């Protein structure tokens, strides 16, 4: 199934994404920042997609479900976890990693490397994923909290792999994990490499033999082998068909005037793992994972659309009994999707990259008191609605 959609048409983007909903990838459209408001710039999934299933061509989002290989790289980069990997799930992958621990090292190998090495691998000595881009920071932090000292992400010859973008994601995740864990005083070593360590090679097979086999395999193969099917999970060309049945979620506005919020499970697991490691030893973190919102009170028009569209509720409305109103911002819940900044009609929001580590696990919450926006209703009873329509390019509908 191939669909071409104007990337600004958020209603159609949400519909098209359901085409990749399968036994390998689950789509939670209500979490997608782009679905929630078309003015949001986020298209990280298209930039990271390894197979061409999700792509941006001449300003249009193209989704070809037949190309989905279920690698999970799109889910790794999605800040709101609107895309969820199921083959294996996060819990299954962590369990496989812990079973594969040798000493204090875990090896995670991509499917291309698994196919290349074949019988040279010690059974159970590594955990396997379709693509190295499947590994995310919550997994690495969880392994560190379990006492693992080194994670080797074994990635195939990416120059001869259709999924080569996954290597870039794996390198990004590794660097982010190193930085975050170092701030918490953990020295987990994360290495992304195409050289298999001796610890996973069968008796009698040395690294030279493994290199010979690997080079010979890559000389013949130009893409990753077919996706292995996990027990009870259908994957591959059937993506988008016979998808698992799970409740559809509504994008209806809640009682407080905001869209539904959801804190990604991965972010909660990441913060839980960091809490197990103790108190942060470093100061500020500057990563892809968190941001800190600053609102310029001289520009803010008090519309609170930032809270309306925030996917996680990191920005939330408050209305006190004395008439005071505004929003609060909780950096630990911020996933740096940029929704607040992109939908602000007054350019009053700055999203800072550097966040004090203590804010993340300490539950710090910043309070922004706002002044109600003066609106005259004498000439037009629909002036408020018309004003919002102007600010949001018509993206406001009467019910």
Peptide bond into 246 cis (omega under 30): no
Closest CA to 330 of 363, 361, 299: 363
Does the pLDDT of residue 184 top 50, yes or no? yes
Does the pLDDT of residue 240 top 60, yes or no? no
Q: What is the dihedral of CA 192, 194, 200, 201, to 10 degrees?
A: -170
Average pLDDT over every residue of 91-111: 95
More confident call, 233 vs 33:
33
E runs forming strands in 93-224: 105-110, 127-129, 150-154, 189-193
356-388: pLDDT as tens digits:
999 998 888 999 999 876 554 445 444 454 445
CATH of domain 90-220: 3.40.50
| Ordered alpha helix ranges (H), 227-368 | 265-276, 305-309, 339-343, 357-362
Size (the chain), residues: 399
| Ordered alpha helix ranges (H), the chain | 10-17, 33-36, 44-48, 73-77, 90-99, 111-117, 137-145, 165-183, 207-220, 265-276, 305-309, 339-343, 357-362, 383-391
Placement of tokens 């090292």 in the chain: 105
Average pLDDT over every residue of 40-65: 80
Average pLDDT over every residue of 219-236: 53
- Reduce the DSSP state of residue 9 to 3 states and report it: coil
Average pLDDT over every residue of 1-19: 51
Q: Which CATH architecture has domain 283-391?
A: 2-Layer Sandwich (3.30)
In the chain, residues under CATH classification 3.30.70.20 are 2-85, 283-391
pLDDT score recorded for residue 92? 94
Placement of tokens 């290495």 in the chain: 191
Distance separating alpha carbons of residues 102 and 100, to the nearest angstrom = 6
Structure tokens at 381: 């009873």
Placement of tokens 């078309």 in the chain: 38
CB atoms within 10 A of CB 145: 19
Closest CA to 54 of 28, 89, 78: 78
Closest CA to 200 of 136, 132, 110, 105: 105
CB atoms within 10 A of CB 398: 6
Distance separating alpha carbons of residues 195 and 109, to the nearest angstrom = 11
More confident call, 279 vs 54:
279
72-99: pLDDT as tens digits:
899 999 999 999 998 889 999 999 999 9
* pLDDT cut 90: percent of the chain above it: 46
Tell me if the pTM is above 0.85.
no
Peptide bond into 274 cis (omega under 30): no
CATH fold of the domain at 2-85? Alpha-Beta Plaits (3.30.70)
Average pLDDT over every residue of 37-55: 84
pLDDT score recorded for residue 227? 53
């Amino acid at each position: 199934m191939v669909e071409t959609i104007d990337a600004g048409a958020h209603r159609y983007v949400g519909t098209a994404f359901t085409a990749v909903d399968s036994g390998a990838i689950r789509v939670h459209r209500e979490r997608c920042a782009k679905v929630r408001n078309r003015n949001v710039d986020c298209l990280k999934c298209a930039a990271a997609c390894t197979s061409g299933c999700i792509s941006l061509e001449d300003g249009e989002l193209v989704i070809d479900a037949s190309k989905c290989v279920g690698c999970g790289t799109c889910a790794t980069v999605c800040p709101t976890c609107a895309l969820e990997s199921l083959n294996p799930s996060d819990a299954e992958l962590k369990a496989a990693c812990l079973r594969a621990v040798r000493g204090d090292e875990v090896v995670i190998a991509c499917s291309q490397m698994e196919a290349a090495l074949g019988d040279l691998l010690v059974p159970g000595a590594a955990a396997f994923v379709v693509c190295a881009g499947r590994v995310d920071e919550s997994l690495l932090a969880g392994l560190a909290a379990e006492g693992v000292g080194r994670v080797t992400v074994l990635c195939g010859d990416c120059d001869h792999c259709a999924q080569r973008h996954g290597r870039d994601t794996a390198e990004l995740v590794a660097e982010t994990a190193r930085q975050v864990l170092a701030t918490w005083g953990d020295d987990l070593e994360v290495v992304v490499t195409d050289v298999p360590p001796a610890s996973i090679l069968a008796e009698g097979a040395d690294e030279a033999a493994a290199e010979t086999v690997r080079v010979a395999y890559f000389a013949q193969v130009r893409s990753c082998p077919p996706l292995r099917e996990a027990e009870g999970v259908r994957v591959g060309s059937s993506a988008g068909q016979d998808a698992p049945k799970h409740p559809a979620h509504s994008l209806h506005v809640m009682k407080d005037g905001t869209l539904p919020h959801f804190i990604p499970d991965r972010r909660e697991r990441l913060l839980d793992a960091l809490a197990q490691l103790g108190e942060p030893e470093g100061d500020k973190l500057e990563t892809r994972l968190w941001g800190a919102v600053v609102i310029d009170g001289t520009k803010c028009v008090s519309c609170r659309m930032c809270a309306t569209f925030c996917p996680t509720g990191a920005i939330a409305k408050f209305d006190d009994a004395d008439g005071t109103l505004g929003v609060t911002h909780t950096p630990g819940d911020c996933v740096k999707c940029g929704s607040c900044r992109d939908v602000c009609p007054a350019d009053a929001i700055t999203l800072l990259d550097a966040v004090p580590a203590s804010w993340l696990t300490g539950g710090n919450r910043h309070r922004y008191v706002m002044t109600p926006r003066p609106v005259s209703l004498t000439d037009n009873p629909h002036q408020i609605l018309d004003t919002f329509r102007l600010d949001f390019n018509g993206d406001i509908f009467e019910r």
